[in-house]
Amino acid sequence: MQTRTLGAGGLAVSALGLGCMGMSWSYGPPKDKTEMIALLRAAVERGVTFFDTAEVYGPYQNEELLGEALAPFRGQVVIATKFGWAPASEQEANGRWNGLNSRPEHIKQVVEGSLKRLRVEFIDLYYQHRVDPAVPIEDVAGTVKDLIAEGKVKHFGLSEAGAETIRRAHAVQAVTTLQSEYSLWYREPEKEILPTLEELGIGFVPFSPLGKGFLTGKMDENTPLDATDFRSKVPRFEPENRRANQSLVDLLNRFAQQKQATPGQIALAWLLAQKPWIVPIPGTTKLTRLEENLGAVGVNLTPEDLSEIEATASNITIHGARYPAEMEKKSGL
Q: How far is CA 208 from the centre of its chain?
A: 6
Pick the closest to residue 73 from 54, 110, 46 (CA basis).
46
CB 239 within 8 A of CB 322: no
CB 326 within 8 A of CB 100: no
Q: Which helix (H) or strand (E) holds 35?
A: helix 33-45
Say which of 57, 126, 182, 186 is annotated catalytic: 57
Residue 57 bears catalytic tag: yes
- Backbone region of residue 74 per phi and psi (left: phi > 0; alpha: psi in -120 to 50; beta: other values): beta
- If you compute the radius of gyration of the chain from its CA atoms, what whole number of angstroms results? 19
| Residue positions counted in the chain | 333
The C-alpha atoms of residue 240 and residue 246 are separated, in whole angstroms, by 10
CA dist list (Å): 66 to 30, 36, 120, 135: 14, 9, 11, 30
CA dist list (Å): 152 to 64, 107, 136, 159: 18, 12, 22, 20
Signed CA dihedral, 165, 169, 175, 179: sign only: negative
CA angle, 126 as apex, 65 and 175 as ends, to 5°?
150
The C-alpha atoms of residue 207 and residue 213 are separated, in whole angstroms, by 11
Q: What is the 3-state secondary structure (H, E, C) of 175-236?
A: EEEEEEECECCECHHHCCHHHHHHHHCCEEEEECCCHHHHHHCCCCCCCCCCCCEHHHHCHH
Among all residues, which ones are annotated catalytic? 57
